[in-house]
């Protein structure tokens, strides 16, 4: 277990340095604890198609944290969060923000709830619900989506969750064409550089009107 911790922590810290992301030692430790839980639970609950811890660091942790500079406001909802990606890494990195992690899969929301308990995350709310049915008491400043649905469907299903001028951050590899909408304005397309990941990753940003 010590070898696992040392090898993988160095890999994570190197990736963070390459991405110019500075986190407190405690936050890096929480990311490592999340990684261990993800590897352990994944063996039984099949939370992710990625099985190896080394790949999870690049494809899950660093990939999630790549959108850290684009978070907007104080309240964020991560729709189709799955195993808590990108929501949990972002919540660890931004303890000053509140995050709601939404998914309709009960085994995944149970996992996230346990992560929050074990890691002591006070800024995360777990929501077991379908996105189109969720009616929050207060709308959000930022909405993130990593592997939820196609972009047109995502925009349609989530507009009621964002406040006016709220930002939708959609992580996409190919689906990057600008869409003309009345309820959203296209803001920008950002290329994301993730250490250890050769595949193209993009962040498509829309602003709710």
H or E segment at 40? helix 25-45
Q: What is the mean pLDDT of residues 120-139?
A: 97
Question: Whole-angstrom Cα distance, residue 56 to residue 74?
Answer: 27
Question: Whole-angstrom Cα distance, residue 167 to residue 186?
Answer: 10
Whole-model pTM: value is 0.94
CATH code of residue 187: 3.40.50.150
Full residue range of the structural domain in which residue 118 is found: 2-208
Q: pLDDT band for position 45 (50/70/90)? A: confident
| Count of domains observed in the chain | 1
pLDDT in tens, 17-41: 999 999 999 999 999 999 999 988 8
pLDDT in tens, 153-197: 999 999 999 999 999 999 998 888 899 999 999 999 999 989 888
């Amino acid at each position: 277990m010590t070898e696992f911790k040392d090898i993988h922590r160095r890999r994570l810290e190197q990736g963070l340095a390459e991405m110019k992301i500075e986190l407190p030692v405690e936050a890096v430790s929480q990311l490592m604890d999340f990684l261990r839980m993800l590897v352990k639970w994944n063996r039984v609950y099949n939370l992710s198609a990625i099985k190896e811890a080394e790949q999870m660091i690049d494809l899950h942790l660093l990939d999630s944290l790549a959108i850290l500079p684009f978070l907007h406001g104080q309240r964020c909802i991560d729709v189709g969060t799955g195993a808590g990606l990108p929501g949990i890494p972002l919540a660890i990195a931004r303890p000053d923000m509140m995050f709601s992690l939404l998914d309709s899969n009960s085994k995944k929301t149970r996992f996230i709830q346990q992560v929050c308990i074990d890691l002591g995350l006070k800024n995360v709310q777990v929501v077991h619900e379908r996105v189109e049915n969720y009616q929050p008491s207060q709308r959000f400043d930022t909405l993130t989506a990593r592997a939820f649905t196609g972009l047109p469907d995502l925009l349609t299903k989530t507009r009621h969750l964002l406040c006016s001028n709220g930002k939708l951050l959609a992580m996409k590899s190919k689906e990057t064409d600008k869409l003309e909408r009345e309820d959203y304005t296209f803001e920008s397309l950002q290329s994301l550089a993730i250490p250890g990941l050769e595949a193209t990753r993009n962040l498509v940003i829309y602003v709710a009107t």
